[in-house]
Structure 1
Amino acid sequence: MLPLRGRSALVTGAGRRGGIGYAVARRLAAYGASVYLHHHVPHDAAMPWGADRPEEVAAGVREALGDPAALVVEGPGDLSDPAAPARLIRTAADAFGGGVDILVANHALSGSDGTLDTIDAAMLDAHWAVDTRSVLLLVQAYVRLRAARPSGGPGGRVVMMTSGQDIAGGMPGEIAYALQKGALASITRSLATALAEHAITVNTVNPGPVDTGYLTGDAHSAVAAMFPAGRWGQPDDPARLIAWLATDEAAWITGEVIDSEGGFRR
């Protein structure tokens, strides 16, 4: 009933109750894990969907706790800062008494992007810093933390997020974002091979279009019609897969880029 009891998880980009990170955190908590919720409120506040109060997000995750002894902690971090990933790993580990078992790198930069004709160096650099560099530095710090622990703890889990940029028509209107998310998909197998000796699995999930509030009106309806079920993906759809990947049931799944798109037809 509680396959993650006694384990700890860091979920990045979990600052909005309408987002995938929040749904993932609730699933992990329901499975018994202690969860650290990373957020960067200024990013969401600048977006059309706005920001939630971190304490309200944390309260929502606590409601899902399957183990009353588990912890839910929240904290900020601007992952465009090269020093922030290692600092975040240390902060989460300290909150849980020294360890992080599960890393879900869900954060990403929204906006600041365009077509091939409109992108510039600043856009490319911004997406590189947040969408790719920070993820790899998080994984690096996570592995170093586990290597320093006497027993290493239970099997480690890393889950990264991509966006289906290499399927069908790609993402021609979001070149910088697609480029950096593609880099994560490409590095998945290499990371999985490197970390197998540490008993850490590495997988990347493409959640497909998920209704997190970024489209409305006719555009929203047009995307819904591309799904065989006639509806968008909901945040809990990829969250169920990610939570399963964190359990021992998925110990033999590594190096995979998994599409969880509900049959989405581009």
Structure 2
Amino acid sequence: MVDTKLAGRTVLVTGASGGIGAAVARAFSAEGARVAVHYFSERTAPPGVTWEHVTPAADVAEALAAGLRDAVAVPADLREPDAARRLFDAVERLLGPVDVLVNNAAHCETPDTFGALTTDGLRRHYEVNAIAPALLISELASRQRDGREPCVVNVSTDAARAFPGQIGYGTSKAALEALTRAAALDLGAAGIRVNAVAPGPVQTGWMDAETYARAGEIVPLGRVGEPADIADAVVFLASHQARWITGQVLQVAGGHAL
């Protein structure tokens, strides 16, 4: 039996109200971890942008707690300059110091291609997908104490190298992968590991039947991914078994976009 040594550790998962984030929260809870389920708290939505991340996060936290695990739902708008500090303060107050940070929250909007790019649209992508993870990692590092070995797992995409039609999203995820490597080098001496997973096509509700079938045909392993496929990889990178792994981007995509 493998002991991940995650039992009793505090895990903060951003963007965990559904999809991959909720699956990651459940996977850590199954390992005995205390889980903070972050969700997007809307203040002001930009004109023409519809936010879909409302609060089933409370339902996720309640379901985890029903399994006799410590779990809480914590709101934050990651675009706000002090969101990282306030989020860490809340989690520490409710569950204790953060041992594992999973930067899963992401912003994606359309149209997002050449000829339709806007300053505001690009800014929103980078604020959530690159700047917020950097500030959250910095907050984790600033609270590091001797004897603890916290780690970070960032969630990118296997299309980060080139994502036509998704310029803001794809390039902000490429920045997240560069951040992963830089943070691993800068924070290694402090005992903080930083890695990333790069999911391929995963069904989180956005694929209709035609898209689902087409995506399955282009994946070498012959099927579309499920949130649990990504969650298991995230748990591995945070586990004791990955204790000498840092600065890596692990593609979890069934061989898609190699």
Q: TM-score, normalised by structure 2?
A: 0.90
How far the C-alpha of 1:62 sits from its partner, in A, is: 3.1
Partner of 1:78: 77
CA RMSD between the two structures: 2.1
Q: Secondary structure at the match of 2:205?
A: coil
Counterpart position of 1:197: 189
Aligned to 2:94: 95
SS in structure 1 at match of 2:218: coil
Runs of 5+ consecutive residues of structure 1 not aligned to the other structure: none
Secondary structure of residue in 2 paired with 1:262: coil
Q: 1:179 to 1:82 in 2, by over 3 A?
A: same
Q: Distance between the aligned counterparts of 1:191 and 1:217, measured in 2?
A: 39
Deviation at 1:55, TM superposition (A): 2.3
Q: Is the 8 A contact 1:2 1:32 kept in 2?
A: no
C-alpha distance 54-265 of structure 1, shift in aligned 2 (>3 A): closer
Is this contact kept in 2: 1:188–1:256, CA < 8 A?
yes
Question: Counterparts in 2 of 1:220-239, with a 5 A limit?
Answer: 220-239=212-231
Residues 239/52 of structure 1: CA separation in 2 closer, same or farther (3 Å cut): same
Q: SS of the counterpart of 2:37?
A: strand
The 1-side partners of 2:160 and 2:128 are apart by 20
Query: Following the alignment from structure 1 to structure 2, what is the Cα–Cα distance between the partners of residues 207 and 21?
Result: 12
> Unmatched 5+ residue regions in structure 2?
none
Does the aligned pair in 1 maintain the 2:29–2:35 contact within 8 Å? Answer: yes
Distance 1:186 1:237, change over 3 A: same
Which residue pairs with 2:32 in the alignment? 32
Number of residues paired by the alignment?
A: 251
Letter of the 1:30 partner, please give it: A
Alignment-mate amino acid for residue 31 of structure 2: Y
Segments of 4+ in structure 1 off by > 3 A? 49-52
1:265 Cα deviation from its structure 2 partner: 5.2
Aligned-partner SS, 1:158 = strand
Aligned to 1:56: 59
- Relative distance call for 1:117 and 1:172 in structure 2 (3 A) is same
Q: Does 1:250 align with 2:249?
A: no
Q: 1:115 to 1:207 in 2, by over 3 A?
A: same
Preserved CA contact (<8 Å) 1:164 1:208: yes
Q: CA deviation at 1:229?
A: 3.5
Check the 8 A contact 1:15/1:41 in 2, yes or no.
no
